[in-house]
Amino acid sequence: MIQSRAYSTGRKQLQSILAKQIEEIKAAGTFKVNLVSRRPEKNCVLNTQQNERVITTAQSSTIGVKDSPKVVNFCANNYLGFAGHPAIREAAKSAIDSHGNGLGSVRFICGTQDIHKQLESTISKFHKKEDTILYPSCFDANAGIFETILTENDAVISDALNHASIIDGIRLCKAKRFRYKNCDMADLEERLKEADAAGARIKLIATDGVFSMDGSVAPLDKICDLADKYNALTFIDECHATGFFGKNGRGTPEYFGVEDRIDIINSTLGKAVSGAAGGYTTSTKEVITLLRQRSRPYLFSNSIPPAVVGSAQKAFELIDTEGVQLRKQLVANTNLFRSRMAAAGFTLKGENHPIVPVMLGDAKLASDIADEMLKRGIYVIGFSYPVVPKGQARIRVQLSAIHTTQQVNEAADAFIEIANSKKAKL
């Protein structure tokens, strides 16, 4: 009788290698655990239940966390509060009723519904572009764009602090790669000169519109000027800008007045726009047509579910109606928190954006302060290496339009009191 087994003979070797890596992460103080317990189960290499904080309610300004009282949430990308908006929830339910739970197919076989085309049209009009293609996430959109439109004859010039999904997408293409210092226009110009010297046919400048770990905004006006000077194209990732940044929520291009000078925009439906999932690329008809033919994440991924499509469609409607007042409230909350923290002596990164990195330097200090904040009912997260550079540990605070003035002040008060109690160097 042959005894069955659950794993291959190579399991022990893999387990040993992974266990060592996990211990190295723990030793570095960067292991991600929840706040229920910091002690892994006995004789267990990794207790997966302690990998993430478990939320027991809908996403909102106040949330329930497993084995903990309700807390005020300052670490979600729920910039406009749309993740739990009643009209958006109803739109998702209605889409399920009319178009089902899912397609069980990729788009080009039998996975395109009328609502997918309607949403793509809505996004194109929103960004003033010719056409749009939907993806399961913006990570997929970034994975699909570079290898589709660039060849070994081309060059991509990328900001040093671009999101991991942009970096991974660039790795998949055969184009020559150049990297410029974060938001450094002199360095960008030098890289453009190098690309020209290398004989690049197409030069594509790739940048985040807003850098998610710093809350800083790419100087798109200056980037566009250099693009014009060197006959280059512009690509931006707008995940932390779409729907709430700029006067009408059209993102960093609107903020800098360069909406007609950005060639390709990738963004998400999973942050300010409904807070659910999904991503897209919006650009010229030629770019989008080629993506439909060759973009692997699009060709080999199931269609976005109707509930996500329906909720996003409603969210884009609300951005132009309720969004007007919500954006004003978000700006007020951002200014209040930034001003209070700066007055207290904290070092902050970014400007004019609801991502507010509170710079602490030391990884353990960032983790300890985040733990103390939770005890006071404020949910924030400490970030340290390798997510951010060594010595630049921080707590990233994210404001939402649905935070009350009282909640914003309570968060600032807690930071100040805890920092003083720890005699932290700010």
- Chain segment 36-60, per-residue pLDDT in tens: 333 333 333 333 334 577 899 999 9
- Which among 254, 191, 186 has a CA at the least distance from the CA of 222? 186
C-alpha–C-alpha distance, residues 244 and 252, integer Å: 10
- Which among 66, 91, 61, 87 has a CA at the least distance from the CA of 76? 61
Q: Do 145 and 206 form a contact (C-beta atoms < 8 A)? A: no
Q: Are strands 381-383 and 264-268 parallel, antiparallel or unpaired?
A: unpaired
Quick one: pLDDT at residue 11? 87
Q: Full-prediction pTM beyond 0.75? A: yes
Confidence at 33, pLDDT banded by 50, 70, 90: low
In angstroms and rounded to an integer, the radius of gyration of the C-alpha atoms of the chain is 23
Beta bridge mates, 264: 235
Amino acid residing at 127: H
Q: Which of 240, 314, 349, 403 is catalytic?
A: 240
Number of H helices, E strands in the chain: 15, 16
Beta bridge mates, 203: 155
Share of the chain above pLDDT 90, in %: 82
User: Which of 97-106, 150-159, 186-195, 363-372 has the lowest average pLDDT?
Assistant: 363-372
Tell me whether residue 124 is one of the annotated catalytic residues. no
Q: Which of 85, 129, 271, 349 is catalytic?
A: 271
355: phi then psi, degrees, rounded to nearest 5:
-80, 115
Amino acid residing at 13: Q
Confidence at 426, pLDDT banded by 50, 70, 90: low
Examine the pLDDT at 309 and tell me if it is beyond 80.
yes
- Which among 265, 264, 261, 272 has a CA at the least distance from the CA of 80? 272
Spatial CB neighbours of 199, under 8 Å, sequence gap ≥ 6:
153
Tell me whether residue 240 is one of the annotated catalytic residues. yes
Q: What is the mean pLDDT of the chain?
A: 92
Q: Which of 158, 212, 274, 303 is catalytic?
A: 212
Tell me whether residue 212 is one of the annotated catalytic residues. yes
Beta bridge mates, 265: 236, 282
When pLDDT is averaged across residues 181-206 and rounded to a whole number, the result is: 98
When pLDDT is averaged across residues 312-336 and rounded to a whole number, the result is: 98
Quick one: pLDDT at residue 50? 44
Q: Do 145 and 186 form a contact (C-beta atoms < 8 A)? A: no
